[in-house]
Amino acid sequence: MAEVLKGGACVLLLLLQHRGSVRQTAAVLHGAVLGQPGDTLRLAVPSLIYTLQNNLQYVAISNLPAATFQVTYQLKILTTALFSVLLLGTSLSRLQWLSLALLFAGVALVQAEQARAAPAPGDAGGPPQSYATGLAAVAASCLSSGFAGVYFERLLKRAGGCIWVRNAQLGAVGALVGLAAMWAAEGRAVAGLGFFHGYSPAVWAVVLNQAAGGLLVALVVRYADNILKGFATALSIVASTAASAHLFGFRPRAPFLAGTAMVVAAVYLYSRPRRPPPGPAPAPGDGPGPGDRDGKSVGAA
């Protein structure tokens, strides 16, 4: 349902871009999906991985405290950077490599502290939790997130196209994959009880949050910069820790707080933009050029 809502929202945004013209929107979607079958099949790869990643996140959050999951999940920055170097030939600065090492050390410190601590008490009668299962799930989710994100970026750079069209394609394929997996795993139960059996307000809230999160990522990629993204990530870690303390009685200890601070610092350092290479020194007496502002070039500013 999250993929259906996300894809539907992208189609609605495309409709608004074409000033409400259903014919133009349908023509764009038809040309992107059926007109380029090879491109659509290539998009099925990250869509399949994203669907797997979403399910891995549910497994991880079911077996880990929310704050621990949020901190550990930042390892996706490390996996994304490594896949960017391998698949896209991206060059990382020394500061970024240092921030990745700091990120790994911070996550390792959090995991070591959590492994020594007793598991967080769940609700009475709740399902048992396995810390090892949760850790394995979040590690696999980070790997899949890094690869799928870089693969999708590679497709966008090579084939181009509107980001809303691409997300609509991802949503359509993801919905079909999720539907097939659901039918294979619980087809009889769905046939007997109905598709929306068990959809409580809390479940709908999760579905809407998941769909909105996917759209927000696209907006961040298009309109925001890495600094804002880094601050948003840091804020999400702090919010998750505070919510876990209030809702589940989670009590972070000194190693957890230290590791979390290292992760937040690593995210900020990694997101800092690179400084442009210094230009030639101006000759004595030269004033700012026509493209300068307060003695600094527009690009450097």
Could you give the percent of the chain with pLDDT greater than 90? 6
Residue 197 pLDDT greater than 60, yes or no: yes
Q: Average pLDDT of 269-285?
A: 59
Q: Band of the pLDDT at 286, cuts 50, 70, 90?
A: very low
| Distance between start and end Cα atoms, the chain | 45
Residue 218 pLDDT greater than 80, yes or no: no
Residue 221 pLDDT greater than 70, yes or no: no
**Range from 33-42, 85-94, 116-125, 165-174 that averages highest in pLDDT:** 85-94
Residue 236 to residues 49, 67, 101: CA-CA distances in angstroms? 24, 9, 21
Tokens matching residue 246: 């209030």
Residue 168 to residues 23, 37, 173: CA-CA distances in angstroms? 17, 15, 9
**How many Å apart are CA 284 and CA 288, to the nearest integer?**
12
The predicted pLDDT at position 11 comes to 87
Q: Average pLDDT of 177-190?
A: 87
Query: 3-state SS of the chain?
Result: CHHHHHHHHHHHHHHHHCCCCHHHHHHHHHHHHCCCHHHHHHHHHHHHHHHHHHHHHHHHHHHCCHHHHHHHCCHHHHHHHHHHHHHHCCCCCHHHHHHHHHHHHHHHHHHHHHHHCCCCCCCCCCCCCCHHHHHHHHHHHHHHHHHHHHHHHHHHHHHCCCHHHHHHHHHHHHHHHHHHHHHHHHHHHHHHHCCCCCCCHHHHHHHHHHHHHHHHHHHHHHHCCHHHHHHHHHHHHHHHHHHHHHHHCCCCCHHHHHHHHHHHHHHHHHHCCCCCCCCCCCCCCCCCCCCEECCEECCCC
The predicted pLDDT at position 288 comes to 40
Q: Band of the pLDDT at 277, cuts 50, 70, 90?
A: low
Q: Band of the pLDDT at 222, cuts 50, 70, 90?
A: low
pLDDT in tens, 235-258: 788 888 888 888 877 788 888 888
Q: Band of the pLDDT at 201, cuts 50, 70, 90?
A: very high
The predicted pLDDT at position 292 comes to 38
Residue 287 pLDDT greater than 70, yes or no: no
The predicted pLDDT at position 280 comes to 53
Nearest by Cα to 270 from 46, 23, 79, 129: 79
* Mean pLDDT for all residues in the chain: 78
Residue 125 pLDDT greater than 90, yes or no: no
Q: Band of the pLDDT at 8, cuts 50, 70, 90?
A: confident
The predicted pLDDT at position 159 comes to 67
By the 8 A CB rule, do 71 and 106 touch? yes
The predicted pLDDT at position 200 comes to 93
The predicted pLDDT at position 46 comes to 82
By the 8 A CB rule, do 236 and 87 touch? no
Q: Average pLDDT of 5-27?
A: 85
The predicted pLDDT at position 86 comes to 87
Residue 41 pLDDT greater than 50, yes or no: yes
What does the domain layout of the chain look like in residue ranges?
A: 39-117+129-161+171-185+223-275
Q: Average pLDDT of 31-45?
A: 74
pLDDT in tens, 57-76: 889 988 888 888 888 888 88
Q: When comparing pLDDT for 142 and 283, which is higher? A: 142
